[in-house]
Each structure stands twice: as structure tokens, then as C-alpha cells.
A and B are shown apart, each in its own frame.
Chain A
């Protein structure tokens, strides 16, 4: 039996029918990690108790589990009890959470074995995974290219099959863009669908966690496991969580798909443009009704997003002060001022990009500037949401590229932060409006790098998103190919 050929549903069944044990499955993935991780730098810390936990699961009645003994990797933004959680930052280098994030708890409850923690941009700030304190992650399709970010480790590990599935977080595209660059499915749920409790906060009104998987069916199953109201996160919805995997259908006849007009107006890499065109053809063939929809504010969404995200981050990251947990700068024993104590610790503990965003956010929130920057951005944010609401009066989902280009080379953009930010053109507006977004691997560029297509749906309509995703996946050229590293 080749575990890599089975869906999560089939793997779960195989474990329940004792065709393979949890321990065997865990050892299978640990061996792959041992072999491939040194090239990829996807895993930061391994769960040394993984085998022990798998053995314990083998003694249990697994018949009620949905993910029995399935080994997974978790982005280092999510707290895992007794397993180091760093957000890929020096300031949390030795942080060992005393509790599990709700999402992690939910996975464990369904029988998941946590293999380890996955690399990312520091505090999820970045689009290339080059901002990790622990070094860049490499793209499994070509080691000279970035895997995308910020969930670069989650995407690379899923792509190289170093886990049955992985978890990422998405504040402005951080699940969807790396999923696109690495040829895997990436799902950002609706804001409020999945609990943020125990997830290291970056920008609280934008952050949402979700799965990166080998296929759409796996993403549907993962979402139904991790979703739901959590008393520990007041922003989670009390809506009933549908059985996404059971309701999954690729019959999209008559469904209205809006093609993002702004994506058809030029500016796309030729390979991405080709991919979008064949995506449109594929959905036509599947019986969807296709027409253009416009989001005229799209070109401003990056500005709005970065102003809001940086402002929220500067406030959220105030907690790293060297007093209660995390890094503390060596201090003069004869005494120092409180300002020196905080400033030295933070100056030494945070990396370049994080400091840049804290500076931007602090500036935008400071007296005299808050109206022109933060508040103005929040007003435009409402207009962005209004535009989506108008668009969704006409269509069920919106199709667009995930990124205007396939993966770029390591170090190609890192010296120019503005260029790096502009890379997020098609993903940030989804977070501003709190909508669900899906990246479906669809085609390959001329130099054999995967390209994903993005679907966006109405709030809490992940089902339609996944159904259209399934129809796209049927026509995908990526699913028959394997990354170079394999």
C-alpha cells in the first residue's frame, strides 16, 4: 500500500481496518522528512513523542475518528502543547506553549499525530519565506525558487509529501500564495469559521487558519474537522458547520462564475494568463455560466491591507516585552530604564521585516496620522466589502489568479519590500472582506513551476468554493506531475 496515493478519507479507513498501523504511517512520514527536509528546511522542530503517540493510538478504538493516526505538520504560528512554537522568530526561539491552539486540539481529537512544526516568515510577515529567523524554505519543484509565504514550510512539506496534510495561516494570502507556488490545494476559510485561539496573533481582524492538502476532498474533510464556534474566540461564528466532504460535488452546471475583470486587463505573467484562460475554458466545459465581474478597488487593496495589517501587528506585538516569556536582552545589572529594557529586547529579538511593519503600524496609529492612514484604510475596507457584496449578487464564485507570477527566485525580491508587498495583489482583498478563498493547483509554467487559480466565495459558503474547486481540479495539469525533489 502506498500511503501517498490515498486520500485522507482512504488513509483513515486503511488505519481503521488495520491495513496499516498509526505507528507505521508515522514512521513512513518521519523517514521521508529525514531524507528530504535537509534540502527543503520545511520543518523547524520535530515532535519527539510522535511515535509514542502513534503507538498509543494503535491501542485505541479508532472507529469514531475522522483522521485516525494521520501524521500532519503544523505551521509554527500555532501553539502546540509542550512542543516548541517560535513563529520563526528569535524573540520566541525557546517558547514552549503550555497549551494547544483550539485547532490543534480538534485535530488531535480526531486522531491526528503531530509530526512537527513548519517553517514560515517571521510572525507570518512575508510572501517568500525568506524572513524566517531559521533560514529560507526551498520550493520542492525547484530548489532555487521560493515556496511562497508566509506558510512556505506548510506548502513545501505538503508538496514534497512530508505529511498527510499541513496547517497554515492566511492574513493576506499566506495559505493561498504558497499553495499556488508549490502545487498544492490551499484553503483560507471565512473569517470566524475557524478559531484563532492559540494562534500567535499578527493582524487579528484578518488572520485565519486553514489546511494545505493534496486535493480538494482532503481540504473539505480538514475544514469540517477544524471549523466551529469556540468559546475561547469571541469572533468565531455560531453557525453550524456543514459536512463539507460529504456534500462535495463536482456538478457545477448552471453555477455562475465571475471572472475578475481586473485580472484580464494585463499585468499577468504569460504563463499565469494562459493558466487563467484554460481555467475559464475548463469551467465552461463543466457547465458553469461565465462572465466578467469587476472589483475596481482591487488596485488599492494592497495599500489598505498593509496599513491595517501593520497597525494591528504593531499593537499585537507589543506583548513581546521580555518580561513574562520570550527573549530578554542581556541587561546591565546595576540598573537601566524601563524604556531601555523593552527597546533593547525588542530591537534584538525581532527581525528586519517585523521591525519595519511595527514601525509602519506605530506611525499609522500615532497621533496626527491615524485619521489619514489607519482610519482611512478602514473606510476603504468597507467599500471593498461593499464591492464584493455587489459582485456576489451576480455570481456564486469569483475566479482569478492567486498571484500574477509563478514562484520567483530566492533573493530576487527580498531587497525591495514594496515590490514584495505588490506581489499580494490578488489575495489581500479576500482577507479585508473576511471571505473564504481557495487556491487550486492548475497548470505548470514553462520552467515547470506550478500555477494555482484562486476562487473566492461569499462568507461561509466554503461548500460552493470547494465544489467549483473540485471541477477545476478535474482539469488540472499539476495533479499528474511530481515536484522535482521527489
Chain B
């Protein structure tokens, strides 16, 4: 874990971090992941990853149109909106 890989990760995560935050998180994640990496010692050959803890059965239902929320309700929390649209500042690139 170095400042280069941390900067790249912040870019992937879409997080604007200050130089101070970047330095702090580089140190901390380095230590944390070093500790967590001990799991590499556990043999897991032929063990399938467990992604969710319980067996999920498919739940069938009729395909019926339902009215859940109105456009007004959906837009009530928008930072900015116009008509039935979310409004965003001009974006270049």
C-alpha cells in the first residue's frame, strides 16, 4: 500500500481526499490490511466462496403493474429538480 495505489483507489471510489486525508488513510489501511492478510495462511483449495449466508429460494409472483411512488415523491429529495427531471450543473468531460 503506497500513496500511488491509494490515489488510484480514491479515484475509483470517486472520493476527493485532501493530502492530509490521503496520508492518514495510506498509513492506516497499510496497517489494517497487513493484519487482515493473515487469512492468506488459511488453506481454501476447492472451497467455493460463500457470498450470502442462507440458501435463497426464488420467489415467484404474477407480473402486475404497480404504482409505488409518484414522480413528485421521488423528486422530493432531489438537490435540484425541474419538472419531472433531476437538475445537475453543466458537466464537461
Point out residues on A near B: beta carbons under 8 Å: 94-96, 98-99, 190-192, 205, 229, 231, 234-235, 237-238, 297, 300, 303-304, 306-307, 314, 318, 321-328, 331-344, 346-348, 350, 355-356, 358-360, 362-363, 366, 372-373, 375-383, 385, 417-418, 421, 431-435, 459
Give A418's nearest chain B residue, CB to CB: B32
In the bound assembly, the distance between CA atoms of A338 and B73 in angstroms comes to 26
B residues near A342, Cβ cutoff 8 Å: 14
In the bound assembly, the distance between CA atoms of A326 and B16 in angstroms comes to 17
B residues near A433, Cβ cutoff 8 Å: 53
The contact of B53 among A335, A362, A432, by CB within 8 Å, is A432
Point out residues on B near A: beta carbons under 8 Å: 1, 5-6, 8-17, 21, 25, 28-29, 31-33, 35-40, 42, 44, 47-54, 56-57, 59, 61, 68-69, 73-74, 76-80, 86, 88-93
B residues near A359, Cβ cutoff 8 Å: 6, 9-10, 13, 15, 25, 29
Q: Are A324 and B39 in contact (CB under 8 A)?
A: no
Give B1's nearest chain A residue, CB to CB: A363
In the bound assembly, the distance between CA atoms of A339 and B16 in angstroms comes to 9
Q: Are B29 and A360 in contact (CB under 8 A)?
A: yes
Q: Are B50 and A337 in contact (CB under 8 A)?
A: no
Q: Are A191 and B54 in contact (CB under 8 A)?
A: yes
Closest 5 CB pairs of A and B: A434-B53, A347-B16, A378-B49, A325-B77, A382-B50
Scoring B1, B5, B42, B54 by chain A CB atoms within 10 A of each residue's CB, the highest score goes to B54
Min distance, Cβ B27 to any Cβ of chain A, angstroms: 10
Q: 28 interchain pairs (CB within 8 A)?
A: A94-B77, A96-B77, A99-B69, A191-B54, A229-B59, A234-B59, A300-B38, A323-B88, A327-B79, A335-B90, A335-B91, A336-B90, A336-B91, A340-B16, A341-B89, A341-B91, A346-B13, A347-B16, A356-B25, A359-B29, A360-B33, A363-B1, A363-B5, A376-B40, A378-B51, A379-B50, A435-B53, A459-B54
Min distance, Cβ B33 to any Cβ of chain A, angstroms: 7
Q: Are A300 and B39 in contact (CB under 8 A)?
A: yes
B residues near A362, Cβ cutoff 8 Å: 9, 12-13
The contact of B17 among A190, A355, A417, by CB within 8 Å, is A355
Q: Are B42 and A191 in contact (CB under 8 A)?
A: no
Additional A-B contacts beyond A324-B78, A359-B10 (13; CB < 8 A) = A235-B56, A321-B14, A327-B79, A335-B92, A350-B15, A355-B15, A355-B17, A366-B9, A373-B36, A376-B40, A376-B44, A382-B47, A418-B31
Give A349's nearest chain B residue, CB to CB: B15
In the bound assembly, the distance between CA atoms of A297 and B39 in angstroms comes to 10
In the bound assembly, the distance between CA atoms of A303 and B32 in angstroms comes to 9
A residues near B25, Cβ cutoff 8 Å: 355-356, 359
Q: Are B44 and A380 in contact (CB under 8 A)?
A: yes
A residues near B14, Cβ cutoff 8 Å: 318, 321, 339, 342-343, 346
Min distance, Cβ B47 to any Cβ of chain A, angstroms: 5
In the bound assembly, the distance between CA atoms of A205 and B55 in angstroms comes to 12
Q: Are B28 and A417 in contact (CB under 8 A)?
A: yes
Give A190's nearest chain B residue, CB to CB: B54
Give A364's nearest chain B residue, CB to CB: B33
Q: Are A333 and B90 in contact (CB under 8 A)?
A: yes
Q: Are A205 and B36 in contact (CB under 8 A)?
A: no
Min distance, Cβ A126 to any Cβ of chain B, angstroms: 15
The contact of B49 among A323, A324, A381, by CB within 8 Å, is A381
Scoring A237, A321, A324, A344 by chain B CB atoms within 10 A of each residue's CB, the highest score goes to A324
Scoring A96, A229, A235 by chain B CB atoms within 10 A of each residue's CB, the highest score goes to A235
A residues near B88, Cβ cutoff 8 Å: 323, 341
Q: Are A235 and B15 in contact (CB under 8 A)?
A: no
Give B42's nearest chain A residue, CB to CB: A380
Min distance, Cβ B71 to any Cβ of chain A, angstroms: 11
Give B12's nearest chain A residue, CB to CB: A362
Q: Given contacts A99-B69, A335-B91, A337-B91, are A378 and B50 in contact (CB under 8 A)?
A: yes
Q: Are B44 and A379 in contact (CB under 8 A)?
A: yes
In the bound assembly, the distance between CA atoms of A467 and B28 in angstroms comes to 43
Min distance, Cβ B25 to any Cβ of chain A, angstroms: 6
B residues near A382, Cβ cutoff 8 Å: 47-50
Q: Are A338 and B15 in contact (CB under 8 A)?
A: no
Q: Given contacts A324-B78, A355-B15, are A231 and B69 in contact (CB under 8 A)?
A: no
Scoring B15, B40, B44 by chain A CB atoms within 10 A of each residue's CB, the highest score goes to B15
In the bound assembly, the distance between CA atoms of A323 and B68 in angstroms comes to 21
Q: Are B54 and A381 in contact (CB under 8 A)?
A: no
B residues near A372, Cβ cutoff 8 Å: 37, 40
Q: Are A421 and B32 in contact (CB under 8 A)?
A: yes
Min distance, Cβ B66 to any Cβ of chain A, angstroms: 10
Q: Are B36 and A303 in contact (CB under 8 A)?
A: yes
A residues near B49, Cβ cutoff 8 Å: 375, 378-379, 381-382
Give A305's nearest chain B residue, CB to CB: B36
Q: Are A385 and B15 in contact (CB under 8 A)?
A: no
